[in-house]
């Protein structure tokens, strides 16, 4: 479904990703973890075609991203709700935008599009709030609105970039339950970027650890052991200790 | 007041005003929400350079609006290129282009020398300068811009609310941005005659700011902006006729008054609501 082959990327002289090879198979719920500045977001941007890898190849559904055109098959939930705090939009308007890629340029939404938008809101439990301005929602509700937006396009692959930021414990649990439901019941493949190592292992089917290079990947039981985690976070922890 | 309908120039001004009042805020919604409020002003100053260039070159008056349009479009293309290729920050870029446009205008007006033209009418707008050809041009541009906005409303909305996600969804974001800036350029260039260079940007921004005070959805904000834009232009034009003051000033002051009224009403409403919830929580205690 998604395959990265020996991907290399740098901002100027600073190498951010080096020889990263990774594949996400159909039905996976993969968490990509790593410390801040480990290249996670860059990797997501490369997968989404927003950045071009300097070396290596990325395949989405078997097609290289440069030639890939069925972008509506990929749902994307950005890092923090990308909407400005003053942007006037109702939940329904935000969610509908997720359908636009599938509808086509200059075409109107048809009945099945409206149905998909409604279903997406229903799925995340926001249908009763559909005409509320997004700015009036709580952090957790806003997050769900953006997931609904990604779902409105009925994607096969859903990519979430640190979606947990700003959610309290209860919202976080509900959020993981929703993702699990989408993965198991709706058959959507998930790739989630996270820096939260503690909770993530309980919910996902696979974990990949990234810190410029791919340090390890496998099931949470295989990967999330003290040895790997200190390899992943060790240098950073020490650096912090030194600075104090 | 009805006497103003006896005059052809006033009827022309009202028709052109109606079109301006609809199209400026409709485009302005996207400008304001993208934090490009100064784009309209910048393109207006560049358009003014086009007007001045026409005077200097002695272009026939029938062709001069088209020259202004052409200069505005070139300016828009340059702004877009600098914005996307050179990654110049938005405010610096607009300041650069605005002062550049104004400087060129001053130089061209100077070179044109003793041309028998009232520069202030271009700066502040005038009812008398709107000829029947201008009305047709304004109507044609308004129809073109509104058709495009209606056709691509959902795409412009997505790009405006979340450009990155729109790009991921496969929308041709760069081309949509370019098309949009061209729409702003032509709108500014033709509305200039009536509202004036210094105030055309205000007509794109103030009605939208007023609408943002009350609109709860994007659709509502667009609708309320247009209603305020039309009200401001028609009332402003009437005031301009009655008082003999430049049209642009009257239109923008009316828009500001509407903004102030909505702001006051909203503040009052919030105060009432707060005191009411304060009362009820007091009772609960």
Q: Where are the alpha helices (DSSP H) in B34-162?
A: 38-57, 64-85, 90-112, 119-124, 132-151, 153-161
pTM for this entry:
0.89
Of the candidates B30, B9, B37, the residue with the CA atom closest to the CA atom of residue B145: B30
Residue % of chain B over a pLDDT of 70: 95
pLDDT at position B282 is 47
> Are B168 and A50 a contacting pair at CB < 8 A?
yes
Does residue B147 sit at the A interface (CB-CB below 8 Å)? no
CB B178 within 8 A of CB B48: no
**What is the DSSP annotation of A118-170?**
HHHHHHTT-GGGTTSBGGGS-HHHHHHHHHHHHHHT--SEEEEESTTTT--HH
Q: Which of B171, B172, B216 sits opposite A88 (nearest CB)?
A: B216
> Is B153 near chain A, with CB under 8 Å?
no
User: pLDDT > 70: what percent of chain A?
Assistant: 93
What pLDDT is attached to residue A240? 40
For residue B86, give both structure tokens: 């050179």
* CA B110/CA B50 separation, integer angstroms: 14
Per the structure block, which two tokens stand in for B100? 């550049």
| Sign of CA pseudo-dihedral B135, B140, B141, B146 | positive
Contacts of B220 in chain A (CB under 8 A): 88
For A83, the closest of B152, B162, B168 (CB atoms) is B162
Tell me the average pLDDT across B209-225. Answer: 95
Enter the ipTM.
Answer: 0.88
**Interaxial angle between packed helices B132-151 and B153-161, expressed in degrees from 0 to 180 and rounded to the nearest 10:** 70
Mean pLDDT of B226-247: 92
What would the mean pLDDT of B31-52 be, rounded to a whole number? 91
Over range B219-225, report the average pLDDT.
Answer: 96
B147 vs A230, residue with greater confidence: B147
Give percent of chain B with pLDDT exceeding 90: 54
Please say whether the beta carbons of B7 and B224 come within 8 A. Answer: no
Q: What is the mean pLDDT of residues A186-209?
A: 85
The reply to whether residue A131 touches residue B33, judged by beta carbons under 8 angstroms, is: no
E strand spans, B200-284 = none
In the block, residue with structure tokens 């239109």: B251
Residues forming beta bridges with residue A58, ordered by sequence position: A4
Chain B positions touching A100 (Cβ under 8 A) are 154-155, 158, 166, 169, 171
d(CA A243, CA A140): 34
Please check the confidence at residue A208 and state whether its pLDDT lies above 70. yes
When pLDDT is averaged across residues A42-54 and rounded to a whole number, the result is 91
Residues in chain A within 8 Å Cβ distance of B167: 49-50
8 Å CB contact of A100 and B171? yes
pLDDT at B1: 67
d(CA A227, CA A234): 9
Task: Tell me what pLDDT residue A238 has.
Answer: 41
Q: Which of A1, A42, A51, A35 is nearest to A18 (CA)?
A: A42
CA-nearest residue to A66 within chain B is B170
Cα separation, A220 vs A201, in Å, equals 5
Say how far apart CA B154 and CA B171 lie, in whole Å. 11
Q: Minimal Cα distance from A154: which residue of B?
A: B169
pLDDT of residue A9 exceeding 80? yes
SS3 A224: coil
Give pLDDT, residue B115. Answer: 59
How do residues B52-82 score in pLDDT, each as one tens digit?
998 888 887 778 888 999 999 999 999 888 8
The alpha helices in A54-99, defined as continuous H runs, are 91-97
Cβ atoms of A205 and A29 closer than 8 Å: yes
From chain A, the residues in CB contact with B172 under 8 A are 105
Predicted confidence band of residue B10 (pLDDT cuts 50, 70, 90):
confident
Residues of A in contact with B154 (CB under 8 A): 96-97, 100, 103, 109
- Is B56 in CB contact (< 8 Å) with chain A? no
Give the sign of the dihedral formed by CA B22, CA B26, CA B27, CA B28. positive
pLDDT-derived band at A84, boundaries 50, 70, 90: low
Backbone angles phi, psi at B115, to 5 degrees: -60, 135
The pLDDT of residue A53 is above 60: yes
Q: Rounded to an integer, what distance in angstroms lies between the CA atom of residue B128 and that of residue B130? A: 5
> How many residues make up chain B in this entry?
285
Residue A176's nearest CA partner among A225, A216, A143 is A143
Angstrom CA distances, A187 to A157, A179, A183, A201, B31, stand at 9, 11, 5, 20, 40
* Pairing state between β A206-211 and A213-218: antiparallel
Evaluate whether A52 touches A27 at the Cβ level (below 8 Å).
no
Q: Which chain A positions have a beta carbon within 8 Å of B170's beta carbon?
A: 69, 71-72, 101
Select from B33, B169, B216 the Cβ nearest to the Cβ of A133: B216
Smallest Cα distance from B130 to chain A, Å: 34
Does B283 have pLDDT greater than 70? no
Say if residues A51 and A42 touch (Cβ distance below 8 Å).
yes
Give the residue with greater pLDDT, A47 vs A86. Answer: A47
Above 60 in pLDDT, residue A242?
no
pLDDT of residue B231: 96
Confidence band for B120, pLDDT divided at 50, 70 and 90: confident
Cβ pair A179, A192 in contact under 8 A: yes
pLDDT recorded at residue A235 = 53
Residue to mutate among A50, A78, A80, A89, with most B CBs inside 10 A, is A89
Residue of A nearest to B219 (CA): A89
Residue pair B251/B236 in contact by the 8 Å Cβ criterion = yes
Choose among A72, A88, A106: nearest Cβ to B151: A106
- Shortest CA gap B161–chain A (Å): 6
DSSP state of A66: G
Question: Under an 8 A CB cutoff, do B165 and A106 touch?
Answer: no
Maximum CA extent, chain B: 79
Selecting from A90, A103, A149 the residue whose C-beta is nearest the C-beta of B217 gives A90
């Amino acid at each position: 479904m998604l395959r990265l082959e020996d991907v290399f990327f740098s901002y100027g002289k600073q190498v951010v990703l080096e020889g990263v090879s990774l594949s996400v198979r159909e039905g996976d719920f993969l968490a990509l973890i790593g410390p801040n500045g480990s290249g996670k977001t860059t990797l997501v941007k490369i997968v989404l075609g927003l950045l071009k890898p300097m070396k290596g190849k990325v395949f989405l559904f078997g097609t290289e991203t440069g030639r890939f055109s069925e972008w509506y098959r990929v749902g994307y939930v950005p890092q923090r709700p990308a909407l400005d705090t003053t942007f006037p939009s109702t939940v329904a308007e935000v969610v509908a935008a997720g359908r636009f890629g599938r509808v086509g340029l200059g075409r109107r939404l048809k009945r099945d599009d409206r149905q998909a938008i409604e279903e997406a809101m229903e799925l995340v439990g926001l249908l009763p709030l559909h005409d509320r301005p997004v700015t009036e929602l709580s952090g957790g509700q806003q997050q769900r609105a953006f997931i609904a937006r990604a779902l409105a396009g009925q994607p096969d692959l859903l990519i979430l970039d640190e979606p947990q930021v700003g959610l309290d414990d209860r919202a976080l649990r509900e959020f993981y339950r929703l993702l699990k439901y989408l993965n198991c019941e709706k058959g959507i493949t998930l790739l989630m970027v996270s820096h939260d190592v503690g909770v993530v292992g309980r919910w996902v089917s696979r974990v990949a650890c990234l810190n410029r290079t791919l340090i390890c990947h496998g099931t949470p039981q295989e990967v999330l052991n003290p040895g790997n985690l200190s390899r992943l976070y060790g240098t950073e922890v020490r650096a912090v200790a030194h600075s104090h | 007041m009805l006497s103003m309908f006896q005059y052809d120039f006033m009827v022309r001004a009202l028709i052109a005003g109606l079109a301006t009042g609809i199209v400026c805020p409709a485009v302005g919604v996207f400008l304001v929400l993208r934090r490009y409020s100064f784009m309209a002003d910048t393109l207006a100053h560049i358009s003014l350079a086009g007007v001045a260039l026409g005077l200097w070159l002695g272009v026939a008056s029938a062709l001069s609006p088209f020259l202004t349009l052409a200069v505005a479009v070139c300016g828009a293309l340059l702004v877009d290129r600098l914005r996307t290729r050179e990654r110049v920050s938005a405010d610096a870029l607009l300041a650069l282009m605005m002062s550049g446009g104004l400087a060129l205008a001053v130089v061209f007006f100077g070179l044109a020398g003793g041309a028998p033209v009232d520069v202030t009418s271009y700066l502040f707008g005038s009812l008398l300068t709107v000829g029947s050809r201008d009305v047709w041009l304004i109507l044609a541009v308004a129809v073109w811009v509104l058709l495009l906005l209606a056709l691509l409303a959902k795409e412009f909305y997505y790009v405006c609310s979340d450009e990155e996600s729109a790009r991921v969804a496969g929308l041709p974001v760069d081309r949509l941005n370019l098309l949009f800036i061209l729409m702003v350029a032509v709108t500014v260039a033709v509305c200039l005659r009536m509202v004036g260079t210094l105030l055309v940007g205000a007509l794109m921004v103030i009605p939208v700011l007023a609408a943002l005070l009350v609109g709860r959805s994007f659709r509502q904000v667009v609708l309320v902006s247009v209603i305020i834009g039309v009200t401001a232009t028609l009332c402003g034009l009437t005031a301009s006729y009655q008082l003999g003051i430049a049209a642009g000033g009257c239109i923008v002051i009316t828009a500001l008054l509407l903004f102030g009224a909505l702001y006051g009403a909203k503040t009052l409403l919030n105060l009432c609501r707060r005191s009411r919830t304060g009362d009820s929580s007091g009772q609960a205690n």
